[in-house]
Structure 1
Amino acid sequence: MSRALLISAPASGTGKTTLMLALARAYSDRGLAVQCFKSGPDYIDPAFHAVATGKTSVNLDSWAMDRATIEALTARGADADLVLAEGSMGLFDGVARKGASGSGATADVAEMMGWPVLLVLDPSGQAQTAAAVAAGLRDFRPGVRMAGVVLNRVASPRHEDLVRGAMASVGIEVFGVLPRHAPIKLPERHLGLVQAEEHTALSELIGEAARLVAERIDLDGLLQAAEYASGPHRRAAAAVATPPGQRIALARDAAFSFIYPHMLEGWRAAGAEITTFSPLSDEAPSQNADVCWLPGGYPELHAGRLAGNHRFRQGLNAFAQTRPVHGECGGYMVLGEGLIDQTGARHQMTGLLGLETSFATRRMHLGYRLAELAVPMPGQVAGSRLRGHEFHYATILAQPDEPLAVVRDATGAVVTETGSRRGRASGTFFHIIAEDK
């Protein structure tokens, strides 16, 4: 028997991430080897997981990845004492199904891997009704097994008694209760939690959360409930997307941090070499590289600094004269002519593309994307199909260059964020998760 728990909830905002980090650290403090995963497209949570356990956490995505890829990625948990996976949104929230995999819902991964679900339930404003919600989730989809619940933000001992009694009446085990005013909260910003590297005391904060759950949650009982019958483990995955080059110069700092660990591992597994540079520190890509990759992040928070970093801008432009440069989302915006921040101030970007973007009037762009390339990009030929996602608040003011791809959302509808190519520079608003198979 193996042990795993997939931590999910009826909706976002219930405290999944805080509980996930606290459990990961609490079990690690007991001497267990804990391997974390994140279900769905998310850059920030896996970095928090890594701080809690000291091990890289990777994403699993049933819409963008086929089953073989997911099983191969989870092979890293074969030698762990406990696998903890964090869900996204509500347990069954996803999009239209895709072939043999799924909708992108957390429940897809739970059923595929046989992992029992630990439900984080916030019963604020209700009592016995919370048990009806939990029972409905338990019974909604055959093949998804619920281990039990943790109650978060409980108002009082009387409130706890009412909810516990109702849970017992429908056969759902309560593994612990956290109070409404627990002193643990992680700061947030418009794309989710603030990045792990921006916290000066993140490990200490996770330690406090771990001590709280050790006092209030039945860790021994939860560990027993985590047991499941695992199948044979696949070997670690090869690249889920072809490396963009043999020697990759990767922008990496607080403005360019959104790239999936499974992508980097896959590129390295395919033989690529990756060197990093910091545009925020006014560094240029290595002249020994044969391709430059600018991932997403928060360039809008650092636009003035990037505009003034002449060594970076001149070095990137010189690089692009002879070798390809590609940007994803934030990286795409920095490859453009200008970026208007939320105050309305315009900042000159690198000008490798004609893209103009603005945060002065914010509008959320969120969802899965399937792109069919109209022209080549680094590592991919025209006609290649890529699965990924888009999540940003920028508005396109101008996108005058040659379209990079025909891009559709999960329903098949064409979206206007086509990406661009000019010369050796290319960029997209969507982040690649895997090649379409």
Structure 2
Amino acid sequence: MTEAFPPGLMISAPSSGTGKTTVMLGLLRALSDEGLRVQPFKSGPDYIDPAFHRAASGRASFNLDGWAMGEGLIGAIAAQASGADICLAEGSMGLFDGVATRGQIGFGSSAETARMMGWPVVLVLDVSGQAQSAAAVALGFARFDPGLRIAGVILNRVASPRHERLARLGMERVGLAVLGALPRRGDLTLPERHLGLIQAVEHPDLEAAIAGYAAFLRDHVDLAAIRALAQGLAAPAATRLPPPPAQRIALAQDAAFSFTYPHILAGWRAAGAEILPFSPLADEPPDRMADLVWLPGGYPELHAGRLAAARHFHSGLRRHARTRPVHGECGGYMVLGQALIDQHGHAHPMAGLLGLVTSYENRRLHLGYRRAVLCGPMPGHAAGAALRGHEFHYSTILVQPDAALAEVSDADGASLPESGSRRGRVTGTFFHLIAGEKG
């Protein structure tokens, strides 16, 4: 059966860099301040934005991904909105940007998510350098997919009252509602680094920043109109969230290890698993009672010296691996290896549970969806299982002497050399697991 679903909106844009994240955070907090229970979502495989959403709304934010997730899993994730008054989803990249798998434009895109959930789209337009021409851009988006409703636009980075008036005249001509106009302000940005935004836990004053975004949105956006435009369908019939790979899971959690999808953790907790957080950066070993150690991705390259010197962490990890499984994703995978070479060419010894040596000295982007068929088991999945995930890093493999964990391909089926590793009870992948293929 299907669940009743709160009405919602997709906050999207023609491209990255338009300011939709700051608009999203401002809307989440401004509507929450009005007494609404606002459920945030993130369309696509982004690892970082959901933590900012949680800080702004007080509710966990969940990814929805049409490429990596089956409808049953999407339904189970959508059910996390139970009790909310309104849903706001932040798009990724441009509204129609997805992959070409199945010969379908926008497969895995924010537009696909919005259609599936019945959410109208609020388009955030960066109008710097244009005026009436912004209406032509918006009209193209409104007509590109007749099955998708563009509810209105928010004009961002408006230079002057005259600039706003001209842009509004253009929107009036093409019949698109202007829901707000945000004057240009240099301080309305979030700090970034090579993978995009810094993590929420690293922001020097996140609460003040979000409160500032909310005040700015209240002054320049019609919040009542935003609320009135929200719509939705019944969510897809739910199966279940991903089950835990063990009963007691020691999970690395600190500034170096933070990229775990919220629906994964929610599934573990819902099934009764005990999550035992520890900090490798604080030189903490995993809990001795844990059945499994899980090292998620993050930014180990920024803390390579501290991680190399974390003797208690290393000894505890090695002790655990003698009798019980250890798994690492992306940054966690690199820390399980023999060495990590930083951007200056300095080699830092890592845990040595795998023979992997990785380097940031010559950065090379690895980005995209991944499909993996396991050559051997990993925690929670048997050999032969097909998994879906996402990879985003700049490191290069210099040495990988261990057995391949999986046969890995991209979204279009092209084979990739980053196969992961397995040695004894230790496994690792460069991709971040999103779901089993039947999920």
1:187-206 aligned at under 5 Å gives the runs 187-206=191-210
Alpha-carbon distance change, 101 to 160 in structure 1, aligned in 2, over 3 angstroms = closer
SS for the counterpart of 2:416 is coil
Task: Measure how far apart 1:101 and its partner are.
Answer: 12
Provide the C-alpha distance between the structure 2 equivalents of 1:408 and 1:232, rounded to a whole number of angstroms.
30
SS in 2 for 1:339: strand
Instruction: Please give the TM-score of this superposition, normalised by the length of structure 1.
Output: 0.96
| CA shift digits 1:384-431 (9 cap, x unpaired) | 000000000001111110000000000100011000011111100000
Identical aligned residues as a percent: 62
Partner of 1:231: 234
The whole-number CA distance in structure 2 between the counterparts of 1:121 and 1:315 is 51
**Residue type of the alignment partner of 1:14:** T
Other-structure match for 1:36: 40
Aligned pairs for 1:7-156 (under 5 A) are: 7-97=11-101, 103-156=107-160
- By how many angstroms is 1:128 displaced? 1.6
TM-score by length of 2: 0.96
Q: What is the CA–CA distance in structure 1 between the aligned matches of 2:56 and 2:437, rounded to whole Å?
A: 32
Equivalence map 1:33-432=2 (5 Å): 33-97=37-101, 103-181=107-185, 183-226=187-230, 228-231=231-234, 238-240=240-242, 242-432=243-433
Contact 2:341 2:347 in 1 (8 A): yes
Give the CA deviation at 1:92.
Answer: 0.4
Q: Distance in 1 between matches of 2:426 and 2:385?
A: 18
Residue type of the alignment partner of 2:316: G
User: Tell me, what secondary structure is at the counterpart of 1:366?
Assistant: strand
The alpha carbon displacement at 1:42 in A equals 1.2
- Check the 8 A contact 1:66/1:100 in 2, yes or no: no
User: Mind listing any 5+ residue stretches in structure 2 that lack a counterpart?
Assistant: none
The one-character-per-residue Cα deviations of 1:289-338 (angstroms, maximum 9, x if unpaired) are: 11111000000000000100111101101110111101000000000000
Structure 1 distance, partners of 2:272, 2:6, is: 32
Q: How many residues align?
A: 434
Note if contact 1:39-1:87 (Cα within 8 Å) is conserved in structure 2.
yes
| SS, match of residue 403 in structure 1 | coil
2: distance between equivalents of 1:76 and 1:288?
A: 30
The letter for the 1-side match of 2:284 is E
Cα shift readout 1:266-300 (whole Å, capped 9, x = no counterpart): 12223322111111111111111111110000000
Partner of 2:437: 436
Superposed CA RMSD in Å reads: 1.7
Return the alpha-carbon distance in structure 2 between the equivalents of residues 322 and 292 of structure 1.
11
For 1:162-205, what per-residue CA distance to the aligned partner results, in whole angstroms no more than 9, with x for missing partners? 11101000100001111122532211111111111112310111
Shift, 1:99, TM fit: 11
Structure 1 stretches lacking a partner, 5+ long: none
* Partners of 2:78 and 2:235 within 8 A in 1: no
Counterpart-to-counterpart distance in 1, 2:241 and 2:82: 20
